[in-house]
């Protein structure tokens, strides 16, 4: 009986915390959690109350990867992005290995940690700081000695680094982080709960860093240009088309989900 009571007290505390956290308006009487009936009622009420904004929050999170999702002709409204068929799993395992070198849960978490701690923003910022030590003549002389890919990266730094300031390439790095979590769930490297627990803090950081979906999308495209001149030449136009669709289509996630949605 003592064990049941302790569990009930813990659940009751979680329910009260949940009510406050999600600003719930549901009303209930304060009763002592001493019976199994009350415990079951609490469980039901806890689940019902916490369900409130979660679907909207999840839709917001999935919209952070909308450019890539649209480019790939995938679904904006499900975590895995595509139906979990044998063909899709085989295809995306191959693609994840080709583009990221990911073949396992361990590989996935290694790349997630890299994106979280370093990403392309570290090199972008280091290049911007070095650029500031050069005169314009020195900078142009350096560019002339570089290959196309490196020269394109430096030109992206020159054009955007100062204006971006502390935003750096956070949008590019963390949108890719969220995309990898989605792929990890599709391929069974992480559970659904794990994926959401990894994703939500990054979504909140993106919301705190950027001013709008447009602002986030622009950062993603700048990051892609910095990442690869070759890929920008090959498919940059299509990524810009996906971005424009998200901006202009009234039915797009960016126009149906408010940027300022409460993610707490």
Please write the tens of the pLDDT for every residue from 178-191.
Answer: 999 999 999 999 99
How far is residue 38's CA from residue 40's CA, in Å, rounded to a whole number?
5
Q: Over 80: is that where the pLDDT of 40 sits?
A: no
Pair 50, 20: CB distance under 8 Å? no
Q: What average pLDDT does range 216-226 have in this prediction? A: 98
| CA-to-CA dists, residue 100 to 92, 180, 181, 235, angstroms | 11, 9, 13, 18
Q: Over 70: is that where the pLDDT of 201 sits?
A: yes
Give CB contacts under 8 A, 24+ apart, made by 234-241.
235/71, 238/71, 239/67, 239/68, 239/71
Tell me what pLDDT residue 54 has.
Answer: 85
Give CB contacts under 8 A, 24+ apart, made by 192-201.
192/79, 195/79, 196/58, 196/61, 196/79, 198/112, 199/61, 200/57, 200/61, 200/263
How far is residue 220's CA from residue 16's CA, in Å, rounded to a whole number?
39
**Structure-block tokens of residue 100:** 């990221």
Q: What average pLDDT does range 51-62 have in this prediction? A: 82
Instruction: Give the lowest-confidence range in 33-47, 118-132, 163-177, 237-251.
Output: 33-47
Pair 115, 180: CB distance under 8 Å? yes
How far is residue 54's CA from residue 70's CA, in Å, rounded to a whole number?
23
Planar angle of CA 83, 235, 130, nearest 5 degrees:
115
- What contacts 187, CB < 8 A, 6 or more positions away? 89, 92, 93, 96
User: How many Å separate Cα 127 from the centre of its chain?
Assistant: 25
Pair 111, 180: CB distance under 8 Å? yes
DSSP 166: G
Q: What average pLDDT does range 108-129 have in this prediction? A: 98
Q: Over 90: is that where the pLDDT of 6 sits?
A: no
Q: What average pLDDT does range 3-24 have in this prediction? A: 44
Instruction: Give the lowest-confidence range in 28-32, 162-166, 223-227, 233-237.
Output: 28-32
Tell me what pLDDT residue 35 has.
Answer: 53
């Amino acid at each position: 009986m003592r064990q049941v009571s302790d569990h009930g007290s813990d659940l009751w505390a979680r329910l009260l915390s949940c009510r406050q956290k999600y600003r719930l308006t549901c009303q209930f009487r304060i009763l002592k959690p001493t019976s199994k009936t009350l415990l079951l009622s609490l469980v039901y009420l806890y689940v019902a109350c916490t369900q409130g904004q979660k679907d909207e929050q999840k839709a917001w999170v999935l919209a952070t990867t909308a450019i890539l999702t649209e480019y790939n002709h995938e679904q904006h409204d499900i975590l895995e992005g595509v139906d979990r068929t044998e063909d899709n799993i085989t295809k995306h395992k191959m693609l994840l290995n080709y583009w990221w070198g990911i073949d396992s849960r361990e590989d996935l978490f290694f790349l997630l940690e890299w994106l979280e701690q370093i990403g392309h923003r570290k090199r972008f910022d280091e290049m911007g700081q070095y650029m500031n030590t050069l005169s314009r003549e020195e900078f142009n002389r350096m560019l002339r000695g570089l290959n196309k890919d490196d020269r394109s990266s430096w030109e992206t730094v020159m054009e955007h680094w100062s204006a971006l300031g502390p935003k750096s390439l956070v949008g590019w790095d963390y949108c890719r982080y969220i995309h990898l979590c989605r792929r990890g769930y599709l391929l069974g490297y992480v559970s659904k709960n794990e994926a959401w627990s990894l994703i939500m803090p990054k979504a909140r950081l993106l919301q705190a860093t950027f001013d709008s979906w447009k602002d986030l999308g622009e950062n993603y495209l700048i990051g892609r240009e910095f990442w690869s001149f070759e890929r920008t030449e090959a498919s940059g136009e299509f990524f810009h088309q996906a971005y424009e669709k998200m901006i202009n289509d009234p039915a797009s996630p960016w126009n149906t989900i408010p940027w300022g949605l409460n993610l707490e």
